[in-house]
Amino acid sequence: MDFNKISIMGIINITPDSFFDGGKWKSQQQIHSKIEKWVEHGIDIVDVGCESSRPGSNPISIHEEIDRLNIFIPIIKLFPDVILSIDTYKPEVAEYALKNGFQIINDIYGATNNEIFKVAKKYNAPVIIMHMQGKPESMQDNPKYDNIIQNISNFFSERIQTALNFGIKHENIILDPGIGFGKTFSDNDKILHNINRFKSLGYPLLVGTSRKSFLQVNDDIPDSRFANSISSMTIALLNGANIIRVHDIKDSIKVKIFIERYMSSNGLSIKKRFFN
């Protein structure tokens, strides 16, 4: 991955119950057609998840997660230039994915199961370390923090050191503050405003706000949050995010191109902004 530029990560949830696109990807033909269009638009990364992590969701077994993933595996060889990320916290699923053509592990539990680091080291794979308070089934019950930004920073510092101790290369660590995962609306707003604080740790930052509930205006539903998503994405990028995880690929790539042009026209360096 080239962190001298902004990267757009497209979301494929092969699940029946994800909060926005659950049940949409039921066949290889549907998935192939969607990724083909994304490639035409200029997608950087495709993130594939086979277990829903929406608030209130329940975990599934390793066998069921791999069974769902098998729908995607035959498609991989058709897109040899696309970087693939597996959205899982299970070491067995991560290893299965890496064996079959994936390159990145995206762990919503922040690799708190250190076996994830062992798998990542074995395959020399980047790991996305995300912060979440609690578990998806209960994370939004009543999230509380002493200081949301400091608490997340402390979590990252501990996880980074553990990753390095397990032999993960510095360049293979990516951080995600976990917007919407065990946070109040106000917490999420503070995270967007303080992205530079997390960037000071010295690692690329992934931000995912797409269609999430904290974006709602007048209690609108996920289908009505397109403008809200693009707005929050723009804030994240201007504040220093490297990777944006989105559902709306075509328009998100337009935003990326505009921001890169804006920065270039004003003599601003993408690389310098990304690595303070």
Domain limits, the chain:
7-274
Q: Is 225 in the active site? A: no
Whole-angstrom Cα distance, residue 212 to residue 96?
Answer: 29
According to DSSP H, which parts of 166-248 are helical? 185-193, 195-199, 226-238
pLDDT value at 63 more than 80: yes
Tokens of 66: 């791999």
Catalytic residue among 68, 159, 190, 212: 212
Q: Identify residue 198 by its one-letter amino acid code.
A: F
Whole-angstrom Cα distance, residue 261 to residue 276?
Answer: 20
Tens of pLDDT, residue by residue over 150-183, are 999 999 999 999 999 999 999 999 999 999 999 9
CB distance 46 to 82 below 8 Å: yes
* pTM given for the model: 0.92
Is 139 strand, coil or helix?
A: coil
For domain 7-274, give its CATH number from 3.20.20.20, 2.60.40.10, 1.10.240.10, 3.40.50.150. 3.20.20.20
- Listed in order, strand segments (DSSP E) in the chain are 7-13, 45-49, 83-87, 104-107, 127-130, 173-176, 206-207, 243-246
The four Cα atoms 78, 81, 83, 86 give a dihedral, to 10 degrees, of: 20
Catalytic residue among 199, 245, 256, 273: 245
Tens of pLDDT, residue by residue over 70-104, are 999 999 999 999 999 999 999 999 999 999 999 99
Is 205 strand, coil or helix?
A: strand
Which is higher by pLDDT, 5 or 14?
14
Q: Is 197 in the active site? A: no
